[in-house]
């Protein structure tokens, strides 16, 4: 599955607001879908810093593991970040409406999409 198809599939998740595929080395968007009131370019740059900070902390702690996903829970939204296993410098960013989303199903769908993505 290509990036466009992957992002379109994420759009089918209940509570979908927006999704992006992001290069964490540059903070640049490689693809986006939806967004609503969220500026996905700004979100991509900001979440790049989140991913970098977590990796730096993991290095400082000498943790020899990879990030599967990261969850940021806001009052009205869930934000999921999932680096690609095949290319760890690229990650998915997914924003969901918390009142309509099923977090477990969203995480499973995101994992499936990530697994099937051809980069």
HSE on the CB side for 21, CA within 13 Å? Answer: 22
Reported pTM: 0.93
pLDDT of res. 119: 77
Q: Which residue has the tokens 């999409």?
A: 113
Among 106, 80, 102, which residue's Cα sits nearest to residue 91? 80
Q: Give the separation between CA 108 and CA 82, rounded to whole angstroms.
A: 11
Name all domains of the chain by residue range, CATH numbers in brackets.
3-116 (3.30.450.30)
What is the reported pLDDT for 27? Answer: 83
Structure confidence at residue 36 as a pLDDT band (50, 70, 90): confident
The helix or strand, by DSSP H or E, that contains position 31, with its residue range, turns out to be strand 28-34
Give tens-digit pLDDT for 72-92. 999 999 999 999 998 889 999
Average the pLDDT over 12-41 and give the result: 92
């Amino acid at each position: 599955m290509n990036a466009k198809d992957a992002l379109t599939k994420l759009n089918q998740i209940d509570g979908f607001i927006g999704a992006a595929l992001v290069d964490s080395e540059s903070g640049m968007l490689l693809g986006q879908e939806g967004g609503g009131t969220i500026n996905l370019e700004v979100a991509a740059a900001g979440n790049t810093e989140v991913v970098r900070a977590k990796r730096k902390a993991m290095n400082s702690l000498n943790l020899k593991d990879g990030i599967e996903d990261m969850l940021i829970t806001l009052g009205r939204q869930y934000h999921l970040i999932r680096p690609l296993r095949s290319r760890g410098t690229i990650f998915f960013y997914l924003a969901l409406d918390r009142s309509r989303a099923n977090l477990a199903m969203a995480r499973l769908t995101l994992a499936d999409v990530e697994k099937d993505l051809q980069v």
